[in-house]
């Protein structure tokens, strides 16, 4: 006589399912705790975030064309190409942002390829896209004004 295999009844299946869920939850809780304890930053895991950039805008409010003659540093990918700003035009640079670190990118604009009139600047992000600074490191033959992430290149004032 052939015996038919016994199927697991609904009660047993329910218990197995509940035990599986509990094991999954307990494993998840303790594995996260182990990662926090063994992390190098004192137990605080950094949040997962989309790569971010700091936006900087350069406006040519002078009466001459200015050309980039230097671009280096931590520009976001793809890095910018040399560009020309005619009077009234602007350009947007994007600089990498790294949590808890300053990132610098360097730009030089020269007037009509005339090396005697130029402006050098550092575009800096400080850990978040909200903490950005433009630092004019050297200037000759121009004046400028700043507004958070924007720099306005102007004609030199001559009284």
pLDDT tens digits for range 88-123: 999 999 999 988 899 999 999 999 867 789 999 999
pLDDT value at position 34? 47
pLDDT per residue as tens digits for the range 52-81: 899 999 999 999 999 999 999 999 999 999
Closest CA to 46 of 36, 55, 56: 36
Least confident of 26-35, 59-68, 76-85, 123-132: 26-35
Q: How high is the pLDDT of residue 114?
A: 78
Mean pLDDT, residues 129-139 taken together: 89
Token couple for 6:
């016994």
- pLDDT value at 153 more than 60: yes
Average pLDDT over residues 35-58: 63
- Gap between the Cα atoms of 53 and 98, Å rounded: 9
Question: Rg (Cα) of the chain, in Å, rounded?
Answer: 29
């Amino acid at each position: 006589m052939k015996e038919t295999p016994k199927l697991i009844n609904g009660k047993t299946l329910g218990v197995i399912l509940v035990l599986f869920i509990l094991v999954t939850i307990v494993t998840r809780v303790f594995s996260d705790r182990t990662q926090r304890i063994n992390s190098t930053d004192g137990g605080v895991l950094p949040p997962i975030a989309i790569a971010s950039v700091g936006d900087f805008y350069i406006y040519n409010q002078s009466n001459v064309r200015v050309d980039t003659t230097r671009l280096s540093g931590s520009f976001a990918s793809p890095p910018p190409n040399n560009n020309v700003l005619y009077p009234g035009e602007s350009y947007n640079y994007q600089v990498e942002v790294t949590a808890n670190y300053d990132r610098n990118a360097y730009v030089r604009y020269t007037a009509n390829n005339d090396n005697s009139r130029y402006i050098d600047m550092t575009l800096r992000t400080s850990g978040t896209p909200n903490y950005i600074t433009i630092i004019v490191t050297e200037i000759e033959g121009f004046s400028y004004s700043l507004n958070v992430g924007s720099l306005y290149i102007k004609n030199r004032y001559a009284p």
